[in-house]
Amino acid sequence: MVKESPEYVRISQAAAMVLGFKNGLFYRNAKSPCINILLTYTTGCAGNCAYCGLSMKRPGTYSEKSFIRVEWGIYALEEVIVRIGEKIDDVKRVCISMITNRKSVKDTKIITSVIRKALTVPISILAAPTILGPKDFDEFKKSGADHLGIAVDACTPELFDRLRGRGVHGPHQWEQYWQSLYRAVEVFGKGNVGVHLIVGLGETEKQMVEVIQHAHNKGIETHLFSFFPESDSALAHYKPPHIGTYRRIQLARYLINNNYATINDLMFDEKERIVRYNIPDNILNPIIDTGKPFMTSGCPGNDGEVACNRPYSDSLPGENIRNFPFLPDADDLIKIKYEISLFD
């Protein structure tokens, strides 16, 4: 029996644990209040992104491929909805991720509508711009989504083309991705659209902050990831970014997205690394002490707090957490403050 969307979907390992499809424990009880859904087809994704587990050229069938280094099991959409309803007190959002497959445009609208009719939980769509037209964004909203995200990932046109476009014989284009983000803001409104960016694909700290500032100026929130290599991908040999780099960019993103600073307030050295934020200590230090800049950035729940916390999606559970899926405690903050000061 072929199990394809819209009748079937894949869900993340964390979501499967929350919904009781799988057994397991979350390190430091970092449960995921967002149920991440991925569309599934035997023909897979047409993308060939150099770092992605779903890459067309990565070995294995699509249904067997991991994504963000974890297993995504296939389940009947109807059963997933039933389980969400049973766990509704633990679920703050559902995120439906498209893949670059023409079927997923129509099916994303169907799945969104079916979930909206059955549940009151907020719905996000992680869209695939390469296969979308301007009207699709209006239809996504009409079907029941209130937030939309787009994974640009690489922060410069050159890196994007090398890792997602012509450099890997992939179909994606930088300009199309950004035009889709601007269109999404027109439909969903400022603050309801997010761009995924991955630190560690070959950019400088300044280049990453520049695109974060550009997105903010356009009303787009930034959802930040630390590169973590996927086995058998073209970038499997790459290392995650230096922890100091990631901490400084996390802090810069938080300051910019929350209007505490702009890129013009930051100082960079000759290697384009952040060396100063130029914010009074009596303002900057309390912000750092909240721990919030170092938590996962993602779409919120109805309470305004981040719902898509993606526990351990870009680092293993343990002492070296990159995106905290919970508020860092006092010991975490001591380590974070030290890491901000580290340079490679």
| Region label for 217, one of left (φ > 0), alpha (ψ between -120 and 50) or beta (otherwise) | alpha
Is the predicted pLDDT of residue 284 greater than 90, yes or no? yes
What's the pLDDT at 1?
83
Phi, psi of 324 (to 5 degrees): -75, 125
Q: Could you give the CA distance from residue 112 to residue 146 in angstroms, rounded to a whole number?
A: 11
pLDDT band at 55 (very low <50, low <70, confident <90, very high): confident
Which of these, 1, 3, 4, 9, lies nearest to 79 by C-alpha position? 9
DSSP 169: T
pLDDT band at 314 (very low <50, low <70, confident <90, very high): confident
What would the 3-class secondary structure string for 21-43 be? CCCCCCHHHCCCCEEEEEECCCC
Sequence-distant (6+) residues with CB within 8 A of 178 are: 152
Which of these, 312, 332, 331, 330, lies nearest to 322 by C-alpha position? 312
pLDDT band at 303 (very low <50, low <70, confident <90, very high): very high
User: In this structure, how many other beta carbons lie within 10 angstroms of the beta carbon of residue 149?
Assistant: 24
What's the pLDDT at 301?
96
**Which residues are registered as beta bridge partners of 197?**
153, 224
pLDDT digits (tens, 9 = 90+) for 9-28: 999 999 999 999 999 899 99
Sequence-distant (6+) residues with CB within 8 A of 78 are: 7
What's the pLDDT at 77?
98
What's the pLDDT at 53?
75
What's the pLDDT at 265?
98
Tokens encoding 222? 């930034």
Phi, psi of 306 (to 5 degrees): -55, 125
pTM above 0.85, yes or no: yes
User: In this structure, how many other beta carbons lie within 10 angstroms of the beta carbon of residue 283?
Assistant: 12
Sequence-distant (6+) residues with CB within 8 A of 157 are: 174, 175
Sign of the torsion angle spanned by Cα atoms 336, 223, 123, 163? negative
What's the pLDDT at 57?
67
pLDDT digits (tens, 9 = 90+) for 63-109: 665 565 677 899 999 999 999 999 999 999 999 999 999 999 999 99
pLDDT band at 328 (very low <50, low <70, confident <90, very high): very high
What's the pLDDT at 100?
97
pLDDT band at 313 (very low <50, low <70, confident <90, very high): confident
